[in-house]
Each structure stands twice: as structure tokens, then as C-alpha cells.
Amino acid sequence: MRTILGLMNDQSDIRERVLDVARAAKRASRSLATATRATKDAALHGLADALVEHADEIIAANARDLERGEANGMKPSLLDRLRLDHARIDAIAAALRELAALPDPIGEVVRGSTLPNGLKLRQVRVPMGVVGMIYEARPNVTVDAAGLALKSGNAVILRGGSAAASSNEVIVDVLARALKAQGLPPEAIQSIDAYGRAGAVELMRARGLVDVLVPRGGADLIQTVVRESTVPVIETGVGNCHVFVDASADVEQAIPIVLNSKTQRTGVCNAAETLLVHADAAAGFLPPALAALGAAGVTIHGDERTAALVPEGVAFVAATDEDWATEYLSLDLAVRVVDSIDAAIEHIGTWSSGHTEAICTRDLRSAERFTSEIDSAALIVNASTRFTDGGQFGLGAEIGISTQKLHARGPMGLGELTTTSWIVHGDGHIRA
Amino acid sequence: MRTILGLMNDQSDIRERVLDVARAAKRASRSLATATRATKDAALHGLADALVEHADEIIAANARDLERGEANGMKPSLLDRLRLDHARIDAIAAALRELAALPDPIGEVVRGSTLPNGLKLRQVRVPMGVVGMIYEARPNVTVDAAGLALKSGNAVILRGGSAAASSNEVIVDVLARALKAQGLPPEAIQSIDAYGRAGAVELMRARGLVDVLVPRGGADLIQTVVRESTVPVIETGVGNCHVFVDASADVEQAIPIVLNSKTQRTGVCNAAETLLVHADAAAGFLPPALAALGAAGVTIHGDERTAALVPEGVAFVAATDEDWATEYLSLDLAVRVVDSIDAAIEHIGTWSSGHTEAICTRDLRSAERFTSEIDSAALIVNASTRFTDGGQFGLGAEIGISTQKLHARGPMGLGELTTTSWIVHGDGHIRA
């Protein structure tokens, strides 16, 4: 009984602490909302300078995380994502300076008119207020999120992966002190890592104090946040992306597109995970394409018709429905031969996560059908799926790629961290 | 044990039925997404014609709802909202024809560019897919929601209040048959009223099939949907709206604005619920303003400084904190004297639901501070709070007024029922 009461007290204690953090963030957000672009840009440069200045301290903290990660048997690819050195800190600081160079989204008049009764109406872009970020063990996300929030006039509450706890603690401390030195409230950048998973749960419930929550990481993390949150969430990043090679595809062009979509970088959400091939193109396209994929180290998970066309020496396993559903994030590719573009669209409608789908075709009607009948964030004709990216799209910095339809869809830049207010000026107008 | 298993079977049975409805809606949404404006507008006229044609049938079903309502002791104001007659059905049909006259949001190119590498990029407005509506006993909302969804290319799943169940059953049947007669899938307009509360819960959990859920009704309904849903929700309509009479206000102009904001219609979300008065204006403004409010039948819930200025014969009760938090939706008004515009902004920041706040002032700096420092959907200078409305703002039809910041804020029209796709055209582009 004492234990149960003890736990309850802990949880309600953590709730109060997280709510204190959120209230402080809300207060800080009011200063940021009215800060001028000049103030925010100067602060971004101040943050960048502070990171470079304190690089040794950050690297020392990061070494503790790496040591703990190794002791816990963390995979080399994850250890590499976690690792910070002087070059990486310089790059992170440079990204903050690039943010300063981007236009300020705040204050933009989205639309406006004078109504028939003379009321003057403007819809004006304003900050969200408080943005929550829940993410995994990549300390660069800590800085990116803080920078994007600052530029868009928002306070941010960060909950990073426990594997990067030491790094994030030092980074957030450096950033908050740098904000203060620039005359802005340090509570505009806060972490709740100290309150563990229970703290993250309280953040998800802080409706009214936190205006939007952006989870960034693996599918499990994102689904947990979606399920548990009462704060509005923007779902990001799970990418079960497809390339469809149509009957009319230019084989010389399609092979590099498939290869690039799958292998240019495998652990990312815009990498291709399934290749669909029109039956009429299969005999001409699949043997050279699978040979090229095999040479790049890709294992093919194929259906029966694909199996019949696999060149010798290419790693092959028979595909099951699970393969159509899987975001491998590795050198694996599901391959299926389909009888028509309708069957390709049907397959994508059934299995896709709604991120990015590409078609290789020379047929205008196929291109038109593919881009208008499929319900995904990005639809690409004759180019690699890897282009779905805020930087590639010219949006500047990116906070994530939304796979939901509400508020933002596809790459999210600064504008997606804002909302609008309607401002109405009258002269004694009343409603009849 | 048998009972528990029986209940479990019922719930899982209802889940399957609601998911079947949602899957059918998703399939229907694909036809609607590619329907031309001409097709959709013709269908809207078809729906309007069918309602008028079947008016007697609808009115007979409505009479059963009214009879049940009276037997259950439903309040006269709610009975009036529930009631349908020929004139009201004509008005509802006319609203569908007005929707047909509005521009089609679908297909709009929101932005586009040719990237430095030659990729051609367009962000195009597309339907959400499946829109869920959960609302109370107003059968006109059934038709409005179906019409807005149709015009914006979406399928809709409706869950109305049980008090209007008979009316809604007939209306949805009439609308779905009219859709079919126009060559569109009848599953684009479906109701889940038959599955009761358990069905509503399943609708809130149908993530991936339902793209957005719009609750419309009282605060309890909306909070339940926000808490229970894993489907993205747009929170609508709770309006604890304020009018602040600044030190410099023109009393002759401020009195009609306060009166109109409070009394023009009391049961609506954009009616004023609290009046804040600058201490320097109180002696000149409050006695005539409170007299006018009293004459209009308003009960004043005031602080001590207000109490000292209440004219004889005006109904007055001492205010508590609960009054600052209450959306009365009746002839009641909370009144507080504040020492400065800062105190007014602080009060609004503490108690407002973020819907609409108005200021009466002749001071430019007060107007600027009020409209830039307060975090609400609409900020109004020298006009009534009652103007926050899709029709008044010239947006055409309205599905609700969003009080959240994600996706939509303030009055929501057809555009707010859409999302976008990014369409990229290349010529063999791969990422370096």
C-alpha cells in the first residue's frame, strides 16, 4: 500500500514539475511571439557561437553517452548517429546560422479584405506558442528543434532519447544560457529529460499549455505519442515508399531511379522499400535492375513472378504480406510484378504509409493517374523518392516530414510551426 | 462470465461494423477525390431537390424525435433547434445550392517552383479523404456537413445526437439515395447513429480510415472527443469571449458593441461572456452600460468595483473565479474593472478559451497591443464579437469555428476540409 501511494506521489510530483516547465514555456513564448526578426536572428547567431565555444564540454558529455551506449550493446549505426565531434558541432552551428538567413514567417498577412460593411479583415501568421518535441538519440535534433522554434517565435520543450541524455543536458544548458545572454527568456528552450518516460507522458497530456507535439523517430515512438497524446500531434516520418515501373518506362532511366531510391541512404524515411513492376516491363527491366541492386548489396524479397527473373548470385527470399508492410530501413527491397497501373495503385493504397511514391513512365495518362489517384504526401514522376525533403524542396530547414493530412503534409519548414490570427478593425460595427 | 463475454462480443461486433462503414467511406472518397466541380455541384443540387421532395417524410420522422424529446422533458430552446418544418427544410436546401455556387477548393496550386536541378514542384490542394462529424441534436448540421464534405471532395461519416436519431436516419437515407441518382457512391454520406455511443468511440479510434474528426456541440462533447480520439481532431466552438473597454473608449460606441456582443444572440460561441473595463473609464461607462444591459434582461456577475457602480434595478450577483471561466450562453455577463490594459490582457490570457476578444478604444497603441499580444483566434477592434463567423468573414459556408491552432483557426470553410499533395516531375533525376 505504501508503495502504491509512493508511486502515485511520484507521478503527481512529476506531473507538477512538467506542468511548471510548460507554464514557464508559455510565459516565455509571449516574449518570443513579439520578438522582431532582428532579435531572433541575433539570438540564433548567439546560440551558434555558444555551441562552438562550449564544444569541448559537449563532446565530453557525449563521450559519456557513447560509453554507456557501447556498454549497453548499442548498434554501430546508432552509435554513429549519437556521436558528436568538433566537425559535427560546427555543422550544427552552421545550420543555426542558415536558419537566421531564412525569411521570418511571423507577421505574414495570409489573406485580407474589406468586407461589404466596411470591417477590415486580415489573417496574420503568428507562432503556435509552445512546441513539444519527443525524439530519439540524435543530439543534432535538439539544436535543430530549438533553432526552428526560436526562428518561428515559439518556445520549445524537448524530450530526447535517454541514450543521449548527457549530451542533451549540456546542449540545452548552453542554448538556454545563450538565449539569456541575448536578452530572451531562457525558458524558451527547456528539456524534460530529467523526468523520464513519466515526464514524456505528462507532456503529451499538457493540453492548453503545449500547442503541438512533434514526435520524431521510429514507428513505435510515433505510434505511442499518437495514442497517448491529448495535445495535437503531427505524425512524422514513417516511410513505406514505393517505386512503380510502368509498362512504358525507359529502362535506362528507371534503373538508376530505383537504385538511388533504395541505396543512396537506407536508414531514412524517403528511401524506397517496395518496387512494383508492370508485367509488360518485367522481362526487360527486372533482370538488369535486380542485377544492379544485387551488386549494391540489396536482398530482394520477391513474389513468384519476380523469383522467375532473378539473376544468379542476387540474394533472394520469397515475399509474404509482411514484406509489403515493412519499412526495412536497410539493404532489403520488396519486389512485386503487377498486371496494370490499377493494380499498382491498389497495392500502394493498401500498404503505403502515405509518404512518397514514384512512377517511372513515358505515358502521360499513367503519370496523371498516378499523381491524382494516390493519397500520399509526395508523388514523383521519373525521379528518385529521395527528393522528398525540406532542403531538396527549397523550404530551408525541416522539422520533420508529416505523413498525416491535418495542418501539414510532407516536409515541414518554419511555416508549419505557425498558426494564424484573424484581426478585425471596425468603427462601432454591430451585427444586425 | 457470459455477460462479460456477451458485452465484449457486442463491442467487437460494433467495431467491425463501424470499420466496415469507414472502409466503404474510404473507397467512396476515391471517386469523390477525382470528381469534377461540375459533377459535385450537380450532386449538391440533386441533394437539395431530394430534401424538398421528401420533406413530408422528414417532418414525420422529426415529429417522432420531438415527441420523444417532450416526453423526456427536453428544454423548449433545444426542442426549437430540433424542429424541422417546410420553411426550415427549404432553407437547408438553399444552403446546399449556395455551396454549389462557391469555388471548388480542390486542385488549387498552393505553391510551385522549378528547383535548381530542374525538378518541377507543385503543392496541390486535395481532399482529406474521410471526414467524421460528431454533433448534437441539430438535424440541419447533418445536411450542412454532408454538403461541405461533398463540395470539398470528401466522404463523411456522421454521428448525430440520439435526440435527432429519427430525423437523421431519414435525412441520411434521402441524401445517400440522391447521391446514387447523381452517379456518385452513396457510401460518401453515411451515419453510424445505429451503433450508439460505442459506435462513436470506434469512429474516434479509426485512425488510418478516418482522416479528421470534427466535434460540434457543447464543451463536454468536444472534450470527450479530444480525450478519446486517436484520429486527428479539430476542436471547435467553445467561446468564453471578452470585450475590453479601454480608458480611451468612445462610450457612445462601446455601449452598443457590448450590448450587441452579449445580447444579439446568447446561445452561440461568439457571444461575449465577460466585460473588462479600464478603471479610468469605469465611472463614465459602467452606469449607462449596465443600465442598458439590465434593460435587455442581462444579469451582471460583477467584482466589487463593478458593484459600486450598478444602477438600481439591474440584477446583480457578486462574481467568483468561476464566473471568469464560464461560457454562460445566456443573459448573464461577468464584469470586472481592471487597472490597465496589461491587467486586461493578463485576465484574458488566464481565462479565455481562445475564441474571440474585442477591444473598444481610440488609442492606437492599445489597439496594436491587444491584437498582437493576445493569443486568440480572432481579435476585434471597435466592433462586436458576433462577427467571428464564416458567413460574416465572407468564407461562404462554415463547418465550425476552430479554437485550436493546428490546421485551422477561427471560422472553417471548404478550404479547411482539404490537405495538399506535393507533385514532382523529373526526367530521370537522382539524388547525388
Give the percent of chain B with pLDDT over 70.
98
Q: Does A194 touch chain B (CB under 8 A)?
A: no
Q: Which of A30, A383, A407 sits opposite B429 (nearest CB)?
A: A383
Q: How many inter-chain contacts (A to B, CB under 8 Å) are there? A: 217
Asked if B188 and B31 touch (Cβ cutoff 8 Å), the reply is yes
A:266-325 residues touching chain B, CB 8 A cutoff: none
State residue B238's pLDDT score: 86
Tens of pLDDT, residue by residue over A291-300, are 999 999 999 9
**Which CATH fold would you assign to the domain A241-392?**
Aldehyde Dehydrogenase; Chain A, domain 2 (3.40.309)
Considering chain A, what is the average pLDDT of its residues?
94
* Confidence bin at B2 (pLDDT 50/70/90): very low
> A23 to chain B: which residues are within 8 Å by CB?
none
> B410 to chain A: which residues are within 8 Å by CB?
123, 420-422
* Confidence bin at B7 (pLDDT 50/70/90): low
Question: Does the pLDDT value for residue A137 go beyond 80?
Answer: no
Mean pLDDT of A263-281: 96
Best to test chain A binding among B154, B424, B425, B427 (most A CBs inside 10 Å): B424
pLDDT top residue among B7 and B131: B131
Mean pLDDT of B7-11: 64
Mean pLDDT of A164-185: 97
Mean pLDDT of B387-413: 90
Cα B107 versus chain centre, distance: 25
> A383 to chain B: which residues are within 8 Å by CB?
119, 424-430
Best to test chain B binding among A268, A355, A364, A429 (most B CBs inside 10 Å): A429
> A227 to chain B: which residues are within 8 Å by CB?
230
The reply to whether residue A260 touches residue B430, judged by beta carbons under 8 angstroms, is: yes
pLDDT top residue among A236 and B53: B53
Interaxial angle between packed helices B139-151 and B37-53, expressed in degrees from 0 to 180 and rounded to the nearest 10: 160
Lowest mean pLDDT among A226-230, B184-188, B319-323: A226-230
State residue B332's pLDDT score: 98
The edge-to-edge listing of strands for the beta sheet with A241-245 is: A316-318, A299-302, A332-338, A272-278, A241-245, A356-360, A378-383, B418-429, B120-127, B109-114
Considering chain B, what is the average pLDDT of its residues?
94
Q: Which single residue is written with the C-alpha cell 462533447?
A: B221
B:57-76 residues touching chain A, CB 8 A cutoff: none
State residue A9's pLDDT score: 58
Give the residue extent of every domain in chain A.
2-235+410-424, 241-392
The reply to whether residue A33 touches residue B375, judged by beta carbons under 8 angstroms, is: yes
State residue B1's pLDDT score: 41
**If you ran DSSP here, which 8-state letter would residue A25 be given?**
H
Mean pLDDT of B19-28: 97
Question: Does the pLDDT value for residue B40 go beyond 60?
Answer: yes
Question: Does the pLDDT value for residue A339 go beyond 60?
Answer: yes
Best to test chain B binding among A209, A250, A431 (most B CBs inside 10 Å): A431
The reply to whether residue B393 touches residue A33, judged by beta carbons under 8 angstroms, is: no
State residue B200's pLDDT score: 95
Question: Does the pLDDT value for residue B3 go beyond 70?
Answer: no
Alpha-carbon separation of residue A238 from A327, A328, A377, B373 (angstroms):
8, 11, 12, 37
The reply to whether residue B420 touches residue A410, judged by beta carbons under 8 angstroms, is: yes
**Which CATH fold would you assign to the domain A2-235+410-424?**
Aldehyde Dehydrogenase; Chain A, domain 1 (3.40.605)
Q: Where are the beta strands (DSSP E) in A119-203?
A: 120-127, 130-135, 155-159, 189-191
Determine how β-strand B272-278 pairs with β-strand A241-245.
Answer: unpaired
Question: Does the pLDDT value for residue B284 go beyond 90?
Answer: yes
Mean pLDDT of A166-171: 97
All three cell numbers of A178, joined, read 545563450
Q: Which of A33, A380, A426 sits opposite B380 (nearest CB)?
A: A426
Give the percent of chain B with pLDDT over 90.
87
CA distance B45 to B52: 11
Q: Does B115 touch chain A (CB under 8 A)?
A: yes
Mean pLDDT of A88-103: 95
pLDDT top residue among A7 and A83: A83
CA distance A368 to A391: 26
For domain B9-235+410-424, which architecture applies? 3-Layer(aba) Sandwich (3.40)
Question: Does the pLDDT value for residue A57 go beyond 50?
Answer: yes
Mean pLDDT of A98-122: 95
The reply to whether residue A405 touches residue B379, judged by beta carbons under 8 angstroms, is: no
Q: Which CATH class is domain B241-391?
A: alpha beta
* H or E element, residue A380: strand A378-383
Asked if B156 and B189 touch (Cβ cutoff 8 Å), the reply is yes
CA distance A359 to A384: 9
Best to test chain B binding among A353, A406, A412, A420 (most B CBs inside 10 Å): A406
* Confidence bin at B377 (pLDDT 50/70/90): very high
The reply to whether residue A129 touches residue B387, judged by beta carbons under 8 angstroms, is: no
Which segments of B264-363 does DSSP mark as H helices, in order? 279-295, 304-307, 321-325, 341-351
State residue A398's pLDDT score: 84
- Nearest Cα of chain B lies from the Cα of A421 at a distance, in angstroms, of 5
pTM to 2 decimal places: 0.90
All three cell numbers of B58, joined, read 422528414
Identity (one letter) of the amino acid at B312? E
State residue A399's pLDDT score: 87
